[in-house]
Chains A and B, each alone.
Chain A
């Protein structure tokens, strides 16, 4: 399973490196979202600084949806989807490989977004370890749940509209916990950080396990 995961992750990342879609489309979309939020909330720095963590995670969430769609568009053709099924790869390995590739892209995205938030919204980080841990855990959870739901809707013609509807409610706890964690990290007093990390960790663990177990039947049903 791990060998298959490495193979699939390598394949996805190599394709991403050649095509640079994530770099040139998903990251600009996230930055664009930040700018649009600023338009929506008004230019007052106080409001933006207070809202910065939530807006950061909201942008991450929407970019996750895009990243998942891109990840499954790699296997867009009829031939490649069948090819993946016929390749003899362990479905759990395929799941972990795809999730790992998406997670790496999301981490890069968050770095860029963090820079954007610091610049655009004037936020300042006081406890970096909380922010980093929260980001890593949240990314694992986002990519696992996202790839699972992406596989669910990958083979359908209505996938563009179905995927956001399915995956965003599921990712809502990550948004909740992540934004509160970043609020604590950006503020001077990190209150309740432990509880949040527990929630993020539980989400990530649950969805990785559930995804590994159920990806086989999922690939059949797609």
Chain B
């Protein structure tokens, strides 16, 4: 759910609840029989309805959809867990408001009324679900187990209801306390009751959405921890070669290109990284977010992570992929930054590559390959030769900025993390990028980059960049302009211009 929608639901819930309270407490008249006590009718039935039917019905439905193979997805599991948790809270509130209503009416806090009893039993049933959910396990295993438990509990609900109703009505010496809690409703009371239903339902929806978001974040943390433990596990093997046999589970930021498909003369196809791993020590993250300096500076002030056996996930990746790539490419076409053994420099190939990135319309080198090749296809023919970027990876001139290789092999230097994309920087050799899977206009963060030749990658810089993925963007007083993202999707804003001009 979009944050905007969530916020508006929350606001609406607050507004309607306030209206209900105002109407209920001041505007509507008191009942003839029950007096002012009847004002509880504006919240007690809505809360009961939300808890018993909405929450647990939703939980049961989600559990069923999770267990059915065709619609199996973690969304249903998280939704069920959120619905049950909020439902338990509302259930407890139902019992509390019911007791408050019952005390002056019946004289006792609790009576074994059919409805109260079955509500209490339902509370205990779903408390059992929550206890089960807290047992540590893999997400899928836990999801399956809790879904089955929810269905078992839900199936019991009608039986509980009927048996308790029967049990209560047949009780010898029927209760003196009249369990009739529903007064006649008319006029303004009816409208207030309706408003009460709407308010409580909105509050319920908002709470379930927020709880769902918490589950999503928890699962993301769990996945990142998994990536870290995967890397550590591989490092146990002592050789990094074996650890990089799998491109899919590599915890990099798409630094490993896959082999080119046949007949494709362009750059290597890039696999999008899944999620970037967390750093091995959380304290470094918090310390860097609290500092006021730029991310680049903060990232480098932290020490590089220590991996067992001295093997880092990145210490060998670039040469290996360079070797693999160079073996597959036609000779003479080498990635920028790698050296052919017989030449000291490959002037034509890097020039051409950098030329594509130069010019007014900068292109992000970090986007997916599909978009990149689409951009290449739209390159205007007949463009003249352009001077390549002259930025060379000189360690003395690094200014503490991290440098890395993008998936296409180009060396990039991170100048900073931008906010909203603005007008492009009209200088060759500069570009904008995002981390894979993000778009700057849709909540992603634009990285301002400078293209460099002859990149010497250090492992901790890749580490710093990975950490950026998880830190929230911050506005900084930037003197540099932001480059606009150019992609086929952006054509709406700038229809006339072409890429690569």
Residues of A within 8 A of B (CB): 145, 148-149, 152-153, 156, 158, 162, 165-166, 169-170, 172-173, 176-177, 180, 191-192, 195-196, 199, 202-203, 206-207, 210, 214, 217-218, 220-222
Contact = CB atoms under 8 A, between A and B. Distances in A.
Interface of B: 67, 121, 124-125, 127-128, 131-132, 135, 141-142, 144-145, 147-149, 151-153, 155-156, 159-160, 162-164, 166-167, 170
Contact of A172 (B121, B141, B147, B162): B121
Nearest to B163: A173
B163 A162 contact: no
Contacts of A180: 167, 170
Contact of A152 (B124, B132, B155): B132
Contacts of B151: 210, 214
A218 B148 contact: yes
Given A166-B149, A177-B167, 11 more contacts: A152-B132, A162-B132, A170-B156, A177-B166, A180-B170, A191-B170, A206-B155, A214-B152, A217-B144, A218-B144, A220-B144
- Could you tell me the dominant secondary structure of chain B's interface residues? helix
B166 A199 contact: yes
A176 B152 contact: no
B149 A210 contact: no
Contact of A199 (B149, B153, B163): B163
Nearest to A200: B163
Contacts of A170: 125, 152-153, 156
B159 A202 contact: yes
A162 B144 contact: no
Contacts of A222: 145
B135 A162 contact: yes
B160 A166 contact: no
A172 B131 CA distance: 19
Nearest to A209: B155
A199 B144 contact: no
Nearest to B156: A170
Contacts, number: 85
B148 A195 contact: no
A210 B166 CA distance: 24
B148 A221 contact: yes
Contact of A165 (B131, B155, B156, B162): B131
- Residue from B125, B142, B153, B166 whose CB has the most chain A CB atoms within 10 Å: B166
Nearest to A157: B135
A-B residue pairs, 6 tightest by C-beta: A221-B145, A221-B144, A173-B163, A166-B128, A169-B124, A169-B125
Contact of B141 (A162, A169, A220): A220
B280 to A, nearest CB: 28
A198 to B, nearest CB: 9
Nearest to A191: B170
A102 B500 CA distance: 76
A162 B129 CA distance: 10
A169 B159 contact: no
B167 A172 contact: no
28 contacts: A149-B149, A149-B152, A152-B149, A153-B132, A162-B135, A165-B131, A166-B128, A169-B156, A170-B156, A172-B121, A172-B160, A173-B160, A177-B167, A192-B170, A195-B166, A199-B162, A206-B155, A207-B152, A210-B151, A210-B152, A214-B151, A217-B144, A217-B147, A218-B144, A218-B148, A220-B144, A221-B148, A222-B145
Contacts of A220: 141, 144
Contacts of A158: 135
B148 A217 contact: yes
Contacts of B163: 173, 176-177, 199
B442 to A, nearest CB: 36
Nearest to B145: A221
A152 B128 CA distance: 12
A180 B162 CA distance: 14
Contact of A207 (B142, B144, B155): B155
Given A145-B152, A162-B135, A169-B125, A176 B167 contact: yes
- Residue from B127, B144, B145 whose CB has the most chain A CB atoms within 10 Å: B145
Contacts of A145: 152
Nearest to A166: B128
